[in-house]
Amino acid sequence: MTLTEFFTLNRDLILFVYGLVFFLLGVTIFLQARSSSRLDLARSLRWLALFGITHAFYEWGDMFLPIQSAYLSKPAMRFLGMLHIELLGISFACLLHFGVAVLRPSGRTRWLYGLAPALLFAWQLVTFFVLNQIIPDARLWRNTANALARYFIGFPGGLLAAYGLRKHTFQRIRPLNVPRIVRTLEIAGISLGVYALLGGLIPPPVEFFPGNWLNTATFTKIMVAPPSIYRSLMGLVILVAIVRALEVFDLETLRRIEALEQQQILAADHERLARDLHDGAIQKVYTAGLLVESASRLTGSETEIGQRLKRAVVVLNDSIADLRRNLADLHDATVLKSEPLSQSLRGLAEDPYFNSLVQIILDMQLGEEKSLSPLRSSHVLAIINEALSNTVRHAQARKVHIEARDQGSTLLLVVKDDGMGISASARNGYGMRNMRDRARLLNGSLNFVNDKGTSVVLEIPWTD
């Protein structure tokens, strides 16, 4: 038995598998695509899903219609044949609109949104109101309508879908820094382009160019297997690539959760600072103001000491007002500064609040080309700031050594002091929990080592 005879005998099985591939493509996209996603791809993929499902029913129709011919009259079969060919036109129109949707045309190119409905309407007009009158033979009419649908809707639709998906991938998905998903979408785009050739340029045999020399019969004679085999393979590649690329929606969800966690950490920081300002600094300054004011009454307002005490009361009241304004500023959005990590570390080391209490030694071995994003840099600086604050408040240290080292794919930061070490109760405090939360968001590791002082060791990847 030759391969040609094998494919002829197993035609129904081939059509079933062909339809099943595209049906699974449509159903999978409908089940996996996120309606809540902010990615444009999620909304555009619905049209690809519609293409897959309608195209599957069209292919299955090629398998079931011959079975119905033994039971139904010719007019009924003619009607079913019209519905069948209508599915082909609708499926190709969905594929074309998918290409338009991922391109998101605007301005002068917004007319592209009406391209698929316009071509579908024109094809329906010619097929059902013109060809239906001049071609009485049902088989010839169906083949001609099939060829026109492939030439004028399927072929441009496949090419536009391939181009649109590729362009969308480079413009919208590549900036997310997900190279594996980008590669799978590129494969899906190439497969759509190949499908445009196999599905759009190879119709059943017709009497006009180019279908009179390139059609399913001539293609099968040259390539041994019928076009449906190759179309099935392309459909399978598209299915696998799109399913793998749908992980981008899971990634989007994880990043949104991470953003919420970051906001919670910042909110907790603001709450702690606000509480420290309100319960600590403001109350102490207010108490000092009351003491100075009472002292000014005892000394008499006309004396030199009394005048100076009055001015001190005014300064203290101004300080309270400033602190209350700072308290209100904590409710504003946090602005992330974009500056080199080395510069930020020098700023911390030169901060009078720290270097007036301990000697800070800064040792940086960082490559000039390496940098952190503003968000990651803010987390790193917050961890180091908390480590220095703990050293100043609790460690009774005289020296602090800050080391920053580029280890290739990772950044190593060590804050080591010569103080008394960390107590067991301190390990469960708010500050250290905050440091661990930030290290987790950085996808890094944070360790506290007690050895002739305390070492805070942070190791993180350079990129997200």
In this prediction, residue 333 carries a pLDDT of 45
Q: How far is CA 360 from the centre of its chain?
A: 41
Sign of the torsion formed by the C-alpha atoms of 203, 207, 211 and 215: positive
Q: Which residues of 410-442 are buried (b: 16+ CB within 10 A; e: fewer)?
A: ebebbbbbbbebbeeeeeeeebbebbebbbebb
Four-way CATH pick for 341-461: 1.10.472.50, 3.30.365.10, 3.30.565.10, 3.40.50.10300: 3.30.565.10
Asked whether residue 93 carries a pLDDT value surpassing 50, the answer given is yes
Rounded distance, CA 268 to CA 386, Å?
14
Domain boundaries along the sequence of the chain: 3-245, 262-329, 341-461
**Closest among 20, 14, 28 to 57, alpha carbons compared:** 20
Average pLDDT, stretch 103-125? Answer: 94
Distance (Å) of CA 204 to CA 32, 135, 151, 313, 347: 35, 16, 12, 96, 74
Rounded distance, CA 266 to CA 17, Å?
54
By three-state DSSP, how is residue 409 classified?
Answer: coil
How many alpha carbons fall within 13 Å on the CB side of residue 390? 29
**Closest among 25, 212, 203, 47 to 113, alpha carbons compared:** 47
The answer to whether the peptide bond before residue 210 is cis (omega within 30 degrees of 0) is: yes
Query: How is residue 15 written in tokens?
Result: 């059509």
By three-state DSSP, how is residue 13 classified?
Answer: helix
In this prediction, residue 378 carries a pLDDT of 82
pLDDT tens, position by position, 332-351: 544 455 578 888 888 888 87
Query: How is residue 172 written in tokens?
Result: 């919208």
Q: Can you give the length of the chain in residues? A: 464
Give the global pTM: 0.64
Rounded distance, CA 105 to CA 44, Å?
13
pLDDT tens, position by position, 35-78: 556 677 888 999 999 999 999 999 999 989 888 888 888 889 88
pLDDT grade for 164, boundaries at 50, 70 and 90: very high
